[in-house]
Structures are given as C-alpha cells and as structure tokens.
Amino acid sequence: MSDTIFAKIIRKEIPAEIVYEDEQVLAFRDINPQGPTHVLVIPKEEIATANDIIGDHEQLVGHMVTTAVQIAKEEGIADDGYRLVMNCNPEGGQEVYHIHLHLIGGRQMEWPPG
Ligand code: 5GP
C-alpha cells in the first residue's frame, strides 16, 4: 500500500472534494487551486510518474483525458478553454508521485509557463 497523499484520498482516508469517480479514475478539486477550476484526475492504479506509463496504460491514460474533458464541459469552461498538464519529476514540477492530470481553467492562461 502506497503512502502518497493521493493514495490516501483514493482510500478515503483523507477528505477531498470529489467531482467524479469510477472504477478506474478519481477526480477531485486541487487544495491549492491555480484558477477558478482546478481539478486533478488520477488513476486508481498507482503509477508514479509519466515515465512509468507503459503500453498497458494507454486505455487508462486515455480515460483520464476523456474524464478531464467531460469535467471541463460540466464546469462550463470547455468553449473558452482550459489547460491539461501532467508534471513529471522535479524539473517538471511534480510534487506528488502518483500521476495526475491537472485540469485548470476559468481564467486566461499565459504561455510559456514559468
Ligand atoms: P504536482 O506538483 O505533483 O503536479 O501537483 C500536485 C498537486 O496536488 C498540487 O497542485 C497540490 O496543490 C495538490 N495537492 C497536494 N496535496 C493535496 C491534498 O491533500 N488534497 C488536494 N485536493 N490536493 C492536493
């Protein structure tokens, strides 16, 4: 059993504002939102980083993306636009080593990121 904070959220050991859940993924609001909408979509399977995604995970990772898009539509930000981000390892800014897709929107994004 992993001790990442996200594993504890999956196991419902710590609370989170869950917006979607099925047998494969969980989506909940980020505790430190970077926009009016900031939802994290995570797989229930433990995958530490993007580097650990293998061919067997293609359906799962695709499901993470379609889940994020569905939530963007439900949040009313799909037409104006949003950002989907998966940070990898220290230089990518990853802090929690259980892969997650950030869905951020509801404000104008800048590019390039810092
Ligand atoms: P990373 O930097 O790994 O890509 O993103 C981790 C994200 O998880 C951050 O945006 C951070 O605010 C969020 N986060 C960390 N701990 C918690 C928590 O306990 N609950 C929730 N809802 N989000 C968290």
24 alpha carbon – ligand 1 mean position (Å): 19
Does 113 fall in a domain?
Answer: no
| CA–CA distance, 26 with 41 (Å, rounded to integer) | 6
Does 71 fall in a domain?
Answer: yes
Q: What is the pLDDT of residues 17-36, one digit of tens each?
A: 999 999 999 999 999 999 99
Does 45 fall in a domain?
Answer: yes
Does 110 fall in a domain?
Answer: no
14 alpha carbon – ligand 1 mean position (Å): 13
CATH number for the domain harbouring residue 86: 3.30.428.10
Kindly compute the dihedral angle of the four CA atoms of residues 59, 61, 67, 69, in this order, to the nearest 10 degrees.
Answer: -110
Does 87 fall in a domain?
Answer: yes
Does 63 fall in a domain?
Answer: yes
Provide the domain count of the chain. 1
Q: What is the pLDDT of residues 62-82, one digit of tens each?
A: 999 999 999 999 999 999 999
Does 79 fall in a domain?
Answer: yes
User: Which is the closest atom of ligand 1 to the Cα of 100?
Assistant: 4
Q: Which whole number is the average pLDDT over 81-106?
A: 98
pLDDT (0 to 100) of residue 1: 55
Query: Among residues 38, 63, 98, 100, which one is catalytic?
Result: 100
Range of the domain at 80: 5-105
Q: Is the pTM of this model over 0.95?
A: yes
Which residues have CB under 6 Å of ligand 1? 5, 16, 28-32, 40, 87, 93-96
State how beta strands 101-105 and 37-43 pair.
Answer: antiparallel
Does 112 fall in a domain?
Answer: no
- State yes or no: is 100 an active-site residue: yes
Nearest to 37 by CA among 88, 2, 71: 71
Both tokens of residue 55?
A: 């061919």
